[in-house]
Amino acid sequence: MYRDVSGGTMMSTSGIQCCPALIGAERVAANETFEDLDPSTGRLIAEVARCGATEIDQAVKAAQQTFESVWRQTVPAERARILRRIADLMRQERDTLAQLESLDTGKPLRQARVDADVAARYFEFYGDIVESLYGSTIPAVRDMFIYTLREPFGVTAHIIPWNYPLQIGARTVAPALAAGNCCVLKPAEEASLTPLRLGELALEAGLLPGALNVVPGLGEEAGAALAAHPGINHLAFTGSLDIGKSVSKAAAENVVPVTLELGGKSPNIVLADADLGSAVPVIVNSILQNAGQTCSAGSRLLVQEAVHDQVVEAIARRFQTVTIGRGLEDPDLGPLISERQQERVHELVQQGREGARLLIGGDIARDERLAGGFYFLPTIFDQVASNTLIAREEIFGPVLAISTFRDLDEATALANDTQYGLIAAIWTRDIGKAHGLARELRVGQVYVNTYGAGGGVELPFGGYKRSGYGREKGYEAMLGYTQVKTVAVKVSGI
């Protein structure tokens, strides 16, 4: 449950949780609240502070004060100690965090446990590597001593989505804090509870008040105010393409660098020689995980003609055994995040029936035991033409589009025939083909005979084309939260 740092659950007289913002060390109740619903049931679980421009300004100023007065001067070893302590506290509270994440997003409990583990790992990883953040010397001129410094930007803004609030919250703020920045984190209105708890755990771990501020609110209010705030020195956004464009435009007005992690239409590419017994379970999981609400979901399946029927039959059998239910009941497939998202997926699927063959699903789950929740049946389209909506639009639901190819050239053309370029997987026993195809794919990550990397904390992650720019995860993410200063000293007597 969401608690204050003294351990007391924050409840209203109606029994509904009341969740204020976290600014500095204070819990700040905005003038208004918004409703946070359990997507598994449609029931109200919390009233969350509806922050606006006033609270955003307070949070930015708190971050500025902490950065200028203390945090920028805090040595890497001390920052590392605090980050590792945050990781320790998150692990101690793993089950509680997982239950809260499952309740707030609807995702199956086992997936929420993985999210909690990965989120803790981010703080541990950046705590471990921050002491290796060095500048360099440049032996360019004989009588000059030239070196570079990597310095933090100052106040960094982090606008995160609702699909992985705990994991993405940790992914974006951990490297920023490690590099010496102070953060203002704006979670999505659909799922704010675990980011707020993360902010509390950071304070418990000894993070200075103001180094991490969490300001929930509506995107068009709090998100817009944060993106446009003149006190922000760097902005990271994860979310949809359209909102990403708006955020980057707002940041550009203040000449603020931006990291954008946007959408995807990622393919699994199955060659005729693939080990299908290994491939099929992973392919199914890549589209059904978190009900398909994943930017890197394997939403397209490109299959070589010789094995098409065999692959489709195997995947269809697995789809037919999928269990659907409340996230806390730990089914295979939980609900979509909201009624609005359910309606969007349903509309896109109905439009997608043209130019494709519907094999399984294609509708809202209407079982009485799921009443009130925002469920959608696992769905497969086959014989999907590359120019159709179902092949090109990011649906963000448990919807798989299957197409065939004859040879590697056609596979490459189909895989790259999208505005996105986030992730791809190649399934083959021929390592030469795998390397050759990997070089031709216009994506930020390529996996061979697997999909994803168990959280991939150490692996640089980001997109080509309209999937965004900049990199999160890995050492590159921490470098991205620094700016380089060059110092050149004239040395006499040489």
Contact 475, 129 (CB under 8 A): yes
Spatial separation of the C-alpha atoms in residues 90 and 309, rounded to whole Å: 45
- Label residue 454 exposed, middle or buried (CB < 10 Å: 0-12, 13-18, 19+): exposed
Sequence-distant (≥ 6) Cβ neighbours of residue 127 within 8 angstroms: 79, 80, 81, 82, 83, 84, 87, 178
Distance of CA 91 to the CA centre of its chain: 20
Strand, helix or coil for residue 194: helix
- Put the strands of the sheet holding 258-261 in their side by side order: 26-28, 21-23, 212-214, 182-186, 155-159, 234-238, 258-261, 468-469
The pair of three-digit structure tokens given for residue 386, joined into one six-digit string:
């590359």
Catalytic member of 124, 261, 393, 394: 261
Burial class (CB in 10 A: 0-12, 13-18, 19+), 132: exposed
Please identify which of the residues 295, 393, 394, 472 carries the catalytic annotation.
295
Strands 17-19 and 182-186: unpaired
Can you give the three-state secondary structure of 58-93, one letter per residue? Answer: HHHHHHHHHHHHCHHHCCHHHHHHHHHHHHHHHHHC
Q: Is 253 a catalytic residue?
A: no
Please count the other Cβ atoms lying within 10 Å of the Cβ belonging to residue 407: 10
Number of C-beta neighbours around residue 352 at 10 A = 23
How big is the chain by its Cα radius of gyration, in Å? 23
212, two tokens: 């991490």
295 is catalytic: yes
The CB-side HSE value for 333 (13 A sphere, CA atoms) comes to: 27
Q: Residue 200 CB: number of other CB atoms within 10 A?
A: 19
d(C-alpha 140, C-alpha 301), whole Å = 51
Q: How far lies 199's CA from each of 206, 257, 335, 488, in Å?
A: 11, 24, 27, 40
* Position 258, amino acid: V
Distances (CA, A) of 362 to 8, 375, 376, 388, 390: 44, 12, 8, 16, 12
Give the residue numbers annotated as catalytic, written as ranges.
Answer: 261, 295
